[in-house]
Structure 1
Amino acid sequence: MVTTPENTFGAERRIATAAPSKRDTRLDVLRGLALITIFINHVPGQIFEYLTTKNYGFSDAAEAFVLISGIAVGIAYGSRFKIGAWFETAKQSTKRAFTLYLAHMITTFMTLALFLAGAWLFHRPGLLCQINILAVLTNPQAGIPSLMLLGHQIGYNNILPMYGALMLMVPIILLLEAKSPLLALGVSGSVWLLSGIFEIAPRNTLIEGYWFLNPLSWQFLFTIGIVGMMHVRRGGKLPRHPLLMALAAGYVGLSFVWVVGQLWGIGNTLASLGLPTVITGFDKTFLSLPRLLHVLALGYLVLNIDALSSLLRRPESNPLVIFGRHSLNIFVAGTILAMVGQVLLYISNGDKVIGPIFVVLGLVIQFVYAYHLENKRKLARAASGKVRAPQTGGLQAVSVRADRSRGMNRK
């Protein structure tokens, strides 16, 4: 399994600040909840899928995860970013992007193996027609290189390529932010808007269309997270005004009514006004404005409603904190388990009992794995402390003895 410092999804390493403080576990809790939601949604056709956030608002766990990741990158890289050390930041973020690429290759080829094995063992060739696999199998000479060069992405295996691309953008985002936060937001927002209007995105090579998640669009949400975190690190605060609270709550409520009430016809009416789809639509590839505003409204409410914010601040021993802390490993494990679940549901013809049982079992396995990773982390830190402690103690003892000797000589 892929391992990274702090075993995080992206660059979210724990960075010491000027004033020592405990880890803000709210990010881990939210990240853990997003991972659980993503896993459930990646096993479609079972009852738990209908309980996830995508059924009650415009955005879903993917938007939440990218916003959280932007905030975490602001913590990890922003605290030490200097314009003069730009190359070092670029090197670190590129290394992180490569780690994400390797993780993506693991999930991609494991998915291929699982669907091929399922089709062969259970005599269900229809499995090979699922989630964009057939395009690879009918032309493996072009298909395998396309997978490795990210020109073709198997269904439900398309988050990591987008996130890796965002990590490559981190040095540019931080450079713009260092010059002016408004400049960073302005450039990022312009790229988002132009990408949506003119449908500028990385194209697929085996089939028609674009990457399912366009990094040129999603970088805006990512940048908002980074800029917001940097603002707070400099001593700033998010504006907390009753009008803004009311607008955010009203938009979340409107989104709930819209989705639950299936009022999509209103969207068609808005589209008839001639405005770009990125403004009036609900497209996930180009992160349309209604989706973007929804996740920002939710984030604003979470941060500004004290009771909710306090509820999310859990002890570091809390299961959700541990789950979210090891997010990259858990995401890889969850994706592979979700693919097992898809094969199982296909060969069982979508059995209504097998699906929910598998989801519960899959989550249990992931939590057990998270605790295993946490124990390894603690043991590694303890071992590191044991190695360093005698050396530090020895130096301190020498220093103390030298001080005493000097004191005696002075007497």
Structure 2
Amino acid sequence: MRIRAQLPPKGRDYRLDLLRGFANWAIYLDHIPNNVVNWLTPRNFGFSDAADLFVFISGYTASFVYARIMLGRGFVIGGTRLIRRAWQIYVAHIVLLVMYIAEIGYLAHRYGDPNLEHEFNVAGFMADPAETLYQGLILAFKPVNMDVLPLYILLMAAFPPVLWIMLRLPNLTLAASFLLYLAARHFGWNLAAFPTGYWYFNPFCWQFLFIFGGWFALGGSTLAKPLIRSRALLWLGGAYLLFALVMTMAGRFPEIAELMPTWLYDAFNPNDKTNLAPYRLVHFIVLAFFITRCLPRDWPGFDWPIFQPLIKCGQQSLEVFCVGVFLAVGAHVILVEISGAIWMQIAVSVAGVALLTAVAYYRSWSKKADKPKSPPLPAPGIGG
């Protein structure tokens, strides 16, 4: 079966780094409740948020990187590279899980506030650590704010055969993914979580955003270019983004909600994030098309110093994400136990973003330092 997918040009796409860095910053800020600074994040201005962006870029990047390996070195090599990356993310998740539980347990004891253990869904570990740890190892136990990595692990581990098919039948793969999304929403498919409930990010639904990212990387953006460049999308998409803004604000401010019919408000509030509501999916796709239209791959702004911290955080995304989850707990406890003043909200937000950026720069430097240097060329002999 011949290859029908179109691989993007070689070389780093700094749009992905910039947007993934932005998503990591936004996720950190969103994980701090009662924080005035997280009013700057996308979740307050439309149906989709940084999590949608993170999953889409993860699918795009996985296809962008591993499709070349699979085509150049075969399915087995490409597939095992994907599994190895899934394993790396799994190890990072387990390390973060242990540190996260220890952090919350220490802070609950330090401030004499056992409610923290319930607030972050780790009280079960204190009662039955062996069973809870086992459930964590199989990705069934997920404390609050640790839902994205298990989704990412599962999608990456299942991606090798999907990528093989997508390289040959990209549109059919996307269509099958969409049918699975519709079936999961219709039949209520999801995975069980421990001790009760289901996965916060339903993998049967969120897989479509991941696959859509892969399809977009492997020729989908070219196929959709007439629509992306059309005036119809500009006007209709802009109107939809404005509508999403109004509905989201209605969910934040009762005064706005009172101005609209109850049936309209109830159709979009609360926002169904778990099952990736269709209106949420459409909102993100419109945003993705707009960004593709307005942000070219060769934009000179990628060299501007102001964007370098975001780009660096995007390039070291896994480390930055894990540190952000860890830091958000400490920031929340500071606001609850020490001071919730606006200046403190700004301080913990700025300090956290600064630490995330420092981690990204350190990891970038460390990776370069770990690479073996090429031995110097021998001096030419007498015979030249």
Q: TM-score, normalised by structure 2?
A: 0.86
Task: Give the aligned partner of residue 4 of structure 1.
Answer: none
Matched, 1:302 2:296: no
Secondary structure of residue in 2 paired with 1:75: helix
Would the alpha carbon gap of residues 237 and 220 (structure 1) be closer, same or farther in structure 2, given more than 3 Å must change?
Answer: closer
Q: Aligned AA for 1:231?
A: G
Inter-partner Cα distance in structure 2 for 1:76 and 1:380: 22
Q: Aligned AA for 2:126?
A: L
1:67-91 CA-to-partner distances (Å, cap 9, x unmatched) read: 1111111210122334993233322
Would the alpha carbon gap of residues 109 and 91 (structure 1) be closer, same or farther in structure 2, given more than 3 Å must change?
Answer: same
Task: Give the aligned partner of residue 48 of structure 1.
Answer: 37
Inter-partner Cα distance in structure 1 for 2:261 and 2:231: 28
Task: Give the aligned partner of residue 138 of structure 2.
Answer: 149
Q: Match for 1:204 among 179, 184, 193?
A: 193
Q: Match for 1:238 among 210, 222, 225?
A: 225
Q: In 1, are the aligned partners of 2:302 and 2:308 still within 8 Å (CA)? A: no
1:297 Cα shift? 0.6
Inter-partner Cα distance in structure 2 for 1:197 and 1:127: 36
Percent identity (aligned): 26
- 1:279-298 map, 5 Å: 282-298=271-287
Inter-partner Cα distance in structure 2 for 1:328 and 1:84: 26
1:159 Cα shift? 0.7
Would the alpha carbon gap of residues 34 and 75 (structure 1) be closer, same or farther in structure 2, given more than 3 Å must change?
Answer: same
Q: In 2, are the aligned partners of 1:282 and 1:289 still within 8 Å (CA)? A: no
Inter-partner Cα distance in structure 2 for 1:312 and 1:54: 25
Q: Match for 2:66 among 68, 73, 77?
A: 77
* Greater Cα shift, 83-92 or 299-308: 83-92
- 1:11-410 map, 5 Å: 22-82=11-71, 85-207=74-196, 209-231=197-219, 238-239=225-226, 240-262=229-251, 269=263, 282-305=271-294, 310=299, 313-314=302-303, 318-348=308-338, 350-381=340-371, 383-384=372-373, 386-387=374-375, 390=377
1:347 Cα shift? 2.0
Q: Aligned AA for 2:104?
A: F
1:158 Cα shift? 1.0
Q: In 1, are the aligned partners of 2:69 and 2:77 still within 8 Å (CA)? A: no
Structure 1: unaligned runs, 5 residues or longer: 1-16, 402-411
Q: In 2, are the aligned partners of 1:267 and 1:281 still within 8 Å (CA)? A: no
Q: RMSD in angstroms over aligned alpha carbons? A: 3.1
Secondary structure of residue in 1 paired with 2:232: helix
Would the alpha carbon gap of residues 309 and 43 (structure 1) be closer, same or farther in structure 2, given more than 3 Å must change?
Answer: farther
1:312-357 CA-to-partner distances (Å, cap 9, x unmatched) read: 6346982221121111111111111112112222323644433321
Would the alpha carbon gap of residues 172 and 151 (structure 1) be closer, same or farther in structure 2, given more than 3 Å must change?
Answer: same
Q: In 1, are the aligned partners of 2:13 and 2:297 still within 8 Å (CA)? A: no
Q: In 2, are the aligned partners of 1:267 and 1:280 still within 8 Å (CA)? A: no
Q: In 2, are the aligned partners of 1:30 and 1:312 still within 8 Å (CA)? A: no
Alignment coverage as a number of residue pairs = 369
Secondary structure of residue in 1 paired with 2:106: helix
Would the alpha carbon gap of residues 74 and 135 (structure 1) be closer, same or farther in structure 2, given more than 3 Å must change?
Answer: same
Structure 2: unaligned runs, 5 residues or longer: 1-6
Inter-partner Cα distance in structure 2 for 1:248 and 1:238: 15
Q: Aligned AA for 1:340?
A: G
Q: Aligned AA for 1:379?
A: A
Inter-partner Cα distance in structure 1 for 2:257 and 2:198: 24
Would the alpha carbon gap of residues 310 and 268 (structure 1) be closer, same or farther in structure 2, given more than 3 Å must change?
Answer: farther
